[in-house]
């Protein structure tokens, strides 16, 4: 009886370990999906979930950085500094 319980327990663990192995994500994979919670403008409590691939997040961060740098250059040239 104990042997059959041990065997059944071992068999039950096989799919669980296979599922766990499938969930391992390569951190360098540009196609992996990353979700972030972002605040909604005009609300202190509301958030929305935004999901994009790692490559799309990187592109968005680059575009945001370029927009900030452009705004800073324009501001400094207007103020004369």
What pLDDT was estimated at residue 34?
Answer: 97
Residue 4 has pLDDT above 80, yes or no: no
Residue 14 has pLDDT above 80, yes or no: no
Average pLDDT over the chain, rounded to whole? Answer: 82
| Residue 34 · residue 52 · CB < 8 Å | yes
Q: What torsion do the CA atoms of 62, 64, 70, 75 make, to the nearest 10 degrees?
A: -150
Q: Which helix (H) or strand (E) holds 58?
A: helix 54-79
What pLDDT was estimated at residue 6?
Answer: 56
Provide the pLDDT confidence category of residue 79 given band limits of 50, 70 and 90: confident
0.95 surpassed by pTM: no
């Amino acid at each position: 009886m104990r042997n059959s319980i041990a065997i059944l327990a071992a068999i039950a663990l096989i799919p669980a370990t296979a599922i766990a192995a499938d969930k391992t994500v390569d951190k360098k994979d540009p196609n992996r999906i990353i979700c972030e919670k972002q605040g909604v403008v005009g609300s202190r409590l509301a958030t929305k979930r935004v999901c994009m691939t790692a490559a799309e997040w990187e592109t968005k961060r680059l575009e945001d950085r370029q927009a900030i740098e452009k705004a800073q250059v324009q501001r400094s040239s207007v103020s004369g500094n």
